[in-house]
Amino acid sequence: MKIYLVILFAFLISCSTKEKNLIQLDEFDKILKIMKTKKTQSIYELLGKPTKIRQDDRDPGIEIWEFDKSIEIHLTKIDKKVRFASMFFFRDFDNYTYLKKRFNNYVWIEKKLKDHVGDVATDMYSVEVPDLKIYFEYDNYSPKRKVMWIGFE
Amino acid sequence: MFPFYLLSIFVFDVFACEPNEIHIREQIISSYTKDDGTRVSAHLRSEHCRLLKEVQFFQNIPRDESKKIKTQFKNWRKEDQKIVQDILNGLPNWLKQYQLGELLRADTLEANHKNPALTIPRSKTLVIFDSFFKENNKREIIIHEMAHIAVWDFSEIELKEFLLLNGWSFSANKPPQPPKQLIKADSQNSPSEDFANCIEIYYSNPEQLKKFNLKSYLKLESLIMNKEKK
């Protein structure tokens, strides 16, 4: 009987470990966690070391830390405080539907933006998820509604 | 948490549609009855790529989104078709692969009478206006329009690198910020417009592009070469 209990116990532990491994943070979770603390320590813990650090062309007081090309964190140069983060989101599926489902549990504010009268037809919208301080724009006339930049404050 | 990640793995598959395909979004299909009497209940159709058929090419009547364009559509004349077809046949290989969903003919765009052509990237629609036939740079115009369709097929890393080298930046709660110096005035409209302008100038006046921004020129050249190899 004892041996059966030990086997059962070992099986339960292994199941729980497997589940823990499956519940991994995605890139959105990581950025949102960083934006909560706004500290460099959480950047290192969640994203590791930046692959590149560059100067912000428009603001000499800001430096930009790049991570694997798609994530960028903007920090003040002197005291290294996180100002905002961005992610270049240009995936090969319907980006809008993915984001809508990803942030399904939060208030989603969508506004129609003015379209440019040019040589390409656009149907532009802005999206705000105020609880998470997320902002992005998308063009409903683009094939997969790829959003390009997503901002996190 | 757990079910969401499982769901995201299976539902959000990659749909890198081919240049002769069109991306169809996830949609709810209402219940219907087939010709043989089989009843199909309402269901959710996942996003997918659909092959474009050549019969949809030169069209006289617009469909779906194209109907919203404020212009007067008209029938294609054979001589106009030949001019456009000859240009399409002579496009650089990577752009020539793009099959259009609709190729329409119209008089003028209500909001901008000088516009020679217009694209709707989602449906791969190209509209040719009267003024197009008066222009000397017809090939460049079509290259520019095809670039508006092709831009959405570059990889995340490739496109971001090009846009950063060209001077685009991003601040929270604002649209993407255009470069301080622009290759053409309307480049400020969007990254897509800037990209299409650069592609057009790459083929019409590469020296101008080299002088304007050598790094971005070299990046664009490598992007094009990679596409040409495929």
Per-residue pLDDT, B50? 87
Asked if B122 and A56 come within 8 Å (Cβ–Cβ), the reply is no
Best CA proximity match to B128, nearest among B102, B153, B99 = B102
The answer to whether the beta carbons of residues B92 and B228 sit under 8 Å apart is yes
Asked if A92 and B167 come within 8 Å (Cβ–Cβ), the reply is no
Cα→Cα distances A105→A37, A93, A99, B112, B173, Å: 22, 21, 11, 42, 21
Give CA–CA dist B71/A121, Å, rounded.
13
Indicate the pLDDT class of residue A9, thresholds 50, 70 and 90.
low
Q: Which of A70, A117, A137 sits opposite B156 (nearest CB)?
A: A70
Q: Where are the alpha helices (DSSP H) in chain A?
A: 2-22, 27-37, 40-47, 95-102
pLDDT of A64-99, one tens digit each?
999 986 899 999 999 999 999 999 999 999 999 999
- Is residue B22 scored above 50 in pLDDT? yes
Share of chain A above pLDDT 90, in %: 73
Put the strands of the sheet holding A52-55 in their side by side order.
Answer: A52-55, A62-67, A71-76, A82-89, A148-152, A134-139, A124-129, A109-112
Per-residue pLDDT, A59? 85
- Is residue A39 scored above 70 in pLDDT? yes
The whole-number average pLDDT for the span B208-213 is: 95
Interface mutation vs chain B, best among A92, A104, A106, A125, most B CBs within 10 Å: A92
The whole-number average pLDDT for the span B47-68 is: 81
Per-residue pLDDT, A2? 60
Share of chain B above pLDDT 90, in %: 65
Indicate the pLDDT class of residue A148, thresholds 50, 70 and 90.
very high
Asked if B160 and A94 come within 8 Å (Cβ–Cβ), the reply is no
Both tokens of B122, joined, read: 């989602």
pLDDT of B145-166, one tens digit each?
999 999 999 999 999 999 999 9
- Spell out which residues of chain A touch residue B122, defining contact as CB-CB under 8 Å: 140-143
Q: Does A1 touch chain B (CB under 8 A)?
A: no
Q: Between A10 and B99, whose confidence is greater?
A: B99
Per-residue pLDDT, A113? 95
- Is residue B118 scored above 50 in pLDDT? yes
Asked if A116 and B115 come within 8 Å (Cβ–Cβ), the reply is no
The whole-number average pLDDT for the span B13-40 is: 87
ipTM of the complex: 0.85
Cα→Cα distances B40→A82, B26, B46, B97, Å: 54, 18, 16, 36
Per-residue pLDDT, B2? 45
- Is residue A58 scored above 90 in pLDDT? no
Per-residue pLDDT, A136? 95
Per-residue pLDDT, A19? 46
Per-residue pLDDT, A6? 59
Q: Does A60 touch chain B (CB under 8 A)?
A: no
* Beta-carbon contacts below 8 Å between A and B: 139
Indicate the pLDDT class of residue A57, thresholds 50, 70 and 90.
confident
The whole-number average pLDDT for the span A127-138 is: 95
- Is residue A100 scored above 60 in pLDDT? yes
The whole-number average pLDDT for the span B88-98 is: 94
Indicate the pLDDT class of residue B5, thresholds 50, 70 and 90.
very low
Asked if A144 and B167 come within 8 Å (Cβ–Cβ), the reply is no
Closest-CA distance of chain A to residue B36, Å = 34
- Is residue B18 scored above 50 in pLDDT? yes
The whole-number average pLDDT for the span A109-131 is: 93
Asked if B15 and A122 come within 8 Å (Cβ–Cβ), the reply is no
